[in-house]
Structure 1
């Protein structure tokens, strides 16, 4: 088993399923059965959650993205299974239930301008439209053709998610100015960080790249992913 300290290094991609299987995380109540992941500051909360049983959560002031890494998790009677994710909007109270062995990834951002409460599901089959490719100065080789289907944008535009796809491309090492969760629906992608470490992820993998990490991107085939991003606005 990999060393947990290395797995939590913010300069590399954090393999969320591997972390959920390795970190000291005891199943229990949704609000307390948690393991905090490293963050650049207090503007976002990134946690692994091991809910089991049933419970209730009062309405809060945060937008929370929940993704099922393993097991089954239900919000107000609507179930999510492995590979599914939803955003619970600020102001939403909910009842929950979880089967034994359920593991979630949770990404939480305070919402100062509350909208309508409710749950926004990221649909992997949503119809996508053309979107901008990475900046030309970051690319080595042909410009990819990209498509996306945004699901939401909240917290003054800082917190957003949806689905995205791209034809093969290579992007130079660039520093991430955002925290990004990714779940690969199709394809395979490799990252190389400043230390020269190469990490490769394939369809079915869920991982996180934190603000401040610098890495390249290489995909040799069409890639499609679920993404959720927290990009803080500059003061």
Structure 2
């Protein structure tokens, strides 16, 4: 049973994922979620196939191998959002493992595939709330790639100078892939986890952890933050 109160190392999970390679739509291992508002899955696609349009925005990130959507090919460390209403052909090389994050989109937008570009130009963005910090406030930059019509599902690139943040509860599900630097987390159980450039991990709603980065960090982020009902 996965401990969803800790950061999940997605590459390590994919290496032991109990699902046989096969069709992109069925060769899946679902991670436990707080509710049905988001789907979090490890996928072992192999071969090729077709996916009809659905009412879900889906972020896909390549952990191993190579995965293609139409003419858009992604290798390890690359991810894209398939917008709701987009039908596509897919192909995957043997040994491919993909992380998928699915969110229903009630307001349909223009179909297509939105790539997160790690080299996108960034602009200054808001730092963490000062009441969460111990020490200097970091200088942060970001380059948003998309934001859903209802504002709950969004992704892009973010960077920050070194800082320490106290333990805070996560009110969102967040995928992260470190492009530069390293980050250490300490969860409610006192367990410390450290991730470095090239690592992909997931922190889910309900987890509570600190953040410590001793050098500049740059990451890909994808967040589902449900609005209050």
TM-score by length of 1: 0.97
The counterpart of 1:156, out of the listed 150, 156, 165, is 150
Aligned partners of 1:14, 1:175: CA distance in 2, in Å?
A: 16
**Residue 80 of structure 2 contacts residue 114 of structure 2 at CA under 8 Å; is this kept in 1?**
yes
Find the partner of 2:115 among 100, 121, 146: 121
Q: Distance in 2 between matches of 1:125 and 1:59?
A: 29
* Separation in structure 1 between the aligned mates of residue 191 and residue 5 of structure 2, nearest angstrom: 10
Of 58, 62, 81 in structure 2, the residue corresponding to residue 87 of structure 1 is 81
Partner of 1:227: 221
Q: CA deviation at 1:155?
A: 4.7
> RMSD between aligned alpha carbons?
0.5
Number of equivalent positions: 229
- Shift of the alpha carbon at 1:22? 1.2
Which structure 1 segments of 5+ residues have no match? none
3-state SS in 1 of match to 2:111:
coil
- Confirm or deny that 1:213 pairs with 2:207: yes
The match for 2:69 is: 75
User: 2:191 corresponds to which residue?
Assistant: 197
Separation in structure 1 between the aligned mates of residue 32 and residue 212 of structure 2, nearest angstrom: 25
Report if aligned partners of 2:162, 2:212 keep a CA contact under 8 Å in 1: yes
- Is the Cα–Cα contact under 8 Å of residues 17 and 42 in structure 2 kept in the other structure? no
2-structure distance, mates of 1:199, 1:9: 13
Query: Offset at 1:25?
Result: 1.7
Give the C-alpha shift of residue 23 in structure 1. 2.4
* Equivalent of residue 112 in structure 1, options 102, 106, 109: 106
Contact in 2 for aligned 1:64/1:108 (Cα 8 Å)? yes
Q: Match for residue 56 of structure 1?
A: 50
Q: CA–CA distance in 1 between the matches of 2:123 and 2:211?
A: 22
Change (3 A) 1:155 1:208: farther
Map of 2:138 onto structure 1: 144
Aligned-partner SS, 1:18: helix
Partner in structure 1 of residue 176 of structure 2: 182
Contact residue 110 and residue 155 of structure 1 kept, 8 A = no
Q: Distance in 2 between matches of 1:108 and 1:155?
A: 15
- Show CA shifts across 1:83-116 (max 9, x none): 0000000000000000000000000000000000
Identify unmatched segments of 5+ residues in structure 2: none
Whole-Å separation in 2 of the counterparts to 1:78 and 1:216: 37
Name the CA distance, whole Å, in 2 between partners of 1:155 and 1:31: 25
TM-score of the superposition, structure 2-length normalised?
A: 0.99
